[in-house]
């Protein structure tokens, strides 16, 4: 079985986000970029399935600008067998990303697609669900445990009420939650091997995908600064302060 994994590059989660002075976006020049944490979890799960003999090939795919290749090499260094780079200088929204992955599915014919449940740059959390609908295949989102056997995937999902266990037929789309696994570190030997692994590049337009992007960001603004706290002597003074602010 072949596994296709989405592998997006985002501003590193440790970076303090700064909005550009003109409000046109966030500052990325000189800022550390790394794999979306949920995508690292997705790749780790695919690699574990590969190592256990469930899968015989792991392919990662990323959508992004020309310099995305170095990021995909990191995924190859982590252990993926091949990488596909769909070149797009413009950021794509979830529906367009799902359409791109559908074209890659038609080309690669994977038995399982694993995506992060969301990307930490836009927090949309929609691509996996949209892909499953377009592909007309089952989906299992927010996975905290994944077992593959007899052409089915048994998935433990994290839901508001706790945990839910479902079983879906393969091929299917699975999206990963934080507690599914802990991604491995990339070793120096993996980095060296990644240099010789195949990395296929194709233009977004060559896939015949029409943009489904109907939303346009018109302005970015940082959150308001937190006001200084106020010390009160007792509960009565607290209630009075809340009433004065219109909170009670």
Question: What is the chain's pLDDT, residue by residue, as a tens digit (248 residues)?
Answer: 999 999 999 989 888 888 898 888 888 888 898 999 999 999 999 999 999 999 999 999 999 999 999 999 999 999 999 999 999 988 889 999 999 999 999 999 999 999 999 999 888 999 999 999 999 999 999 999 999 999 999 999 998 889 999 999 999 999 999 999 999 999 999 999 999 999 999 999 899 887 777 788 888 888 888 888 888 889 999 999 889 888 88
Which residues sit opposite 9 in a β-bridge? Answer: 35
Instruction: Supply the pTM of this predicted model.
Output: 0.85
Domain with residue 174: its CATH number is 3.40.50.620
Residues in Cβ contact with 29 at an 8 Å cutoff, skipping those fewer than 6 apart:
none
Read off φ and ψ for residue 28, nearest 5 degrees.
-120, -15
Q: How many domains does the chain have?
A: 1
Question: Can you give the pLDDT at residue 182?
Answer: 95
**What pLDDT was estimated at residue 101?**
97
Burial code (b: 16+ CB inside 10 Å, e: under 16) for 56-65 equals ebbbbbbbbe
Query: Residue 214: its pLDDT value, please?
Result: 77
Q: Is 88:67 a contact under the CB 8 Å cutoff?
A: no
Closest CA to 98 of 185, 211, 16: 211
24 Cβ contact partners less than 8 Å away, ≥ 6 residues apart:
219, 220
**CB burial of residue 108 (10 Å; 0-12, 13-18, 19+):** middle
> Measured between alpha carbons, how far is residue 140 from residues 2, 36, 62 in Å?
18, 19, 21
pLDDT of residue 95: 92
CA distance 248 to 241: 9
CA-based nearest residue to 98, from 68, 66, 137: 137
- Quote the domain boundaries for residue 74: 2-244
Residue 181: predicted pLDDT? 95
DSSP character at residue 210:
P
> What pLDDT does residue 227 have?
80
Q: Which residues contact 200 (CB under 8 A, 6 or more apart)?
A: 82, 83, 84, 85
Dihedral angle computed from the Cα positions of residues 69, 71, 77 and 80, in that order, rounded to the nearest 10 degrees: -80
Pairing of strands 199-203, 162-169: unpaired
Q: Are 200 and 84 in contact (CB under 8 A)?
A: yes
């Amino acid at each position: 079985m072949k596994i296709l994994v989405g592998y997006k590059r985002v501003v590193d989660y440790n970076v303090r986000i700064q909005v550009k002075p003109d409000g046109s976006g966030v500052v990325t020049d000189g800022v550390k970029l790394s794999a979306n944490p949920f995508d690292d979890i997705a790749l780790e799960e695919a690699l574990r399935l590969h190592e256990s003999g469930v899968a015989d090939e792991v392919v990662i795919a990323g959508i992004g600008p020309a310099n995305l290749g170095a990021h995909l090499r990191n995924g190859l260094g982590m252990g993926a067998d091949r990488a596909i780079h769909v070149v797009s200088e413009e950021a794509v929204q979830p529906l367009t990303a799902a359409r791109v992955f559908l074209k890659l599915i038609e080309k690669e014919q994977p038995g399982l697609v694993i995506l992060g449940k969301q990307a930490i740059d836009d927090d949309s959390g929609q691509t996996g669900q949209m892909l499953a609908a377009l592909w007309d295949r089952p989906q299992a989102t927010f996975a905290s445990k994944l077992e593959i056997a007899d052409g089915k995937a048994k998935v433990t999902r994290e839901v508001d009420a706790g945990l839910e266990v479902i079983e879906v037929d393969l091929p299917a789309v699975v999206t990963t939650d934080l507690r599914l696994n802990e991604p491995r570190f990339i070793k120096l030997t993996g980095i060296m091997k990644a240099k010789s692994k195949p990395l296929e590049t194709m233009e977004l337009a060559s896939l015949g995908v029409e943009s489904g992007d109907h939303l346009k960001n018109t302005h970015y603004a940082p959150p308001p600064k937190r006001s200084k706290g106020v010390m009160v002597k007792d509960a009565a003074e607290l209630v009075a302060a809340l009433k004065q602010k219109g909170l009670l």
